[in-house]
Amino acid sequence: MIVYLNGSFVEKAAARISPADRGFLFADGVYEVMRWYDGRLWETEAHLARLRDGLLKTRIVYAAADELPRIGRELLERNRAAADRMRLYVQITRGAALRTHAFPDRSTPPTVYADVAPMDTSSDELERGIAVITTADQRWARCDIKSTALLANVLASQLAVEAGAREAIMLKDGMVTEASHSSVFAVANGVVRTAPLSNLILAGVTRGVVLDLCDEHGTPAREFPLTEAELRNADEIFLAGTSCEVMPVVRLDGRPVADARPGIVTRRLQEAFAKRTRAVRTST
């Protein structure tokens, strides 16, 4: 497999990153995951805007984010992969330097890595829904930054796996923040609810698309703090993310969500989401 590293396209096995890289030493980096739908990189501008925002907030200097879609396209070509059911992973760290906590010399170039890999959302899970657990949100106070420092997310995700579930919804001070790698929505009395944007959650691109679809279809939606009790009593729960799209949750901590079948609002949003990705397909 060919990957991109600091301006070159190389075999993954030949890609070398220094042990002095601050990504390795401090998780001092940001990343982004984008996805192709039938030839087109989905929501490119939103993903790039979030990446630029993360770079700004972490003060990592990398001015060529606009180049990433072209790099992604070249990765597909070099790996002879079709631009569908594939994702582009990008990671930018503050570069390699002698280990001290504060920033290295300004002349230190960032480390820029990208690769492509298959990404498909299970149609079976989209149809039947998934089981999730809840767990304490043990993350830091800048979850708005898509940082590579994901240890708390990793631990939460592993708890889900060990419980036979697919995702872990995180709770902080009795409120729902988000899941280990997706945004959380609940539906009660026909109103779609999700946590408001703050330093406690990532501004999910799919979250934004879902809210936009609610708007377009006249489905009432509120970005308003969601309590644990509201989550447990919700008529419907679904997750949103680049990898899971609009994913119904049918079991929460081993108990059924309503009748343990994807709800009607979730279904409508899934259809609208699929239609929008199809629209991308036909606009090529």
Residues belonging to the active site: 146
Site for ligand PLP contains 91 (CB under 6 A)? no
Our CB check for ligand PLP shows the closer of 43 and 95 to be 43
- Give the per-residue contact string, 41-80, with ligand PLP (x = CB under 6 A; - = no): ----------------------------------------
Q: Which is nearer to ligand PLP, 21 or 245 (CB)?
A: 245
| E strands present in the chain | 2-5, 8-11, 29-37, 40-41, 86-93, 111-118, 130-136, 167-172, 175-179, 183-188, 191-194, 221-223, 236-241, 245-252, 255-256
Tokens 């890595």 correspond to 113
Q: How many residues bind ligand PLP (CB under 6 A)?
A: 14
Smallest separation (angstroms) from ligand PLP to the CB of 239: 8
Our CB check for ligand PLP shows the closer of 156 and 257 to be 156
**β partners of residue 223:** 194
Minimum distance from CB of 204 to ligand PLP (Å)? 3
Query: Does the protein bind ligand PLP through residue 157 (CB under 6 A)?
Result: no
CA R_g for the chain: 19
Instruction: List binders of ligand PLP among 177-216 (CB under 6 A).
Output: 178, 181-183, 202, 204-207
Q: Which of 214, 276, 273, 206 is nearest to 241 (CA)?
A: 206
To the nearest whole angstrom, how small is the minimum distance from the Cβ of residue 148 to ligand PLP?
11
Tell me if 241 contacts ligand PLP by CB under 6 A: yes
> Closest CB to ligand PLP among 40 and 207?
207
Residue (95 or 248) nearer to ligand PLP, CB: 248
User: For residues 146-174, b (16+ Cβ closer than 10 Å) or e, as one string?
Assistant: bbbbbebbeebbebbeeeebbbbbbbbee
DSSP code of residue 74: H
Q: Using the rule CB under 6 A, give the single segment among 13-21, 84-92, 176-184, 267-275 that binds ligand PLP.
A: 176-184
Nearer to ligand PLP, 134 or 153 (CB): 153
- Rounded to the nearest whole angstrom, what is the least distance from the CB of residue 48 to ligand PLP in the complex? 12
Q: Which stretch binds ligand PLP (CB under 6 A): 9-17, 59-67, 174-182, 254-262?
A: 174-182
Q: Minimum distance between the CB of residue 34 and ligand PLP, rounded to whole angstroms?
A: 9
What backbone torsions phi and psi does residue 196 show, to the nearest 5 degrees? -70, 155
- Of 91, 134, 242, 270, the residue at the interface with ligand PLP (CB under 6 A) is 242
* Cβ-contact 120, 85 below 8 angstroms: yes
What is the C-alpha separation between 38 and 52, in angstroms, rounded?
25
CA dihedral 13, 18, 22, 24 (to 10 degrees): 50
Closest CA to 22 of 110, 140, 89, 105: 110
Q: How far is the CB of 170 from ligand PLP (least distance, A)?
A: 8
Q: At 130, phi and psi to the nearest 5?
A: -130, 165
In this structure, the chain runs to a length of: 284
* CB of 178 closer than 8 Å to CB of 170: yes
Catalog residues that contact ligand PLP under the rule CB under 6 A: 33, 153, 178, 181-183, 202, 204-207, 240-242
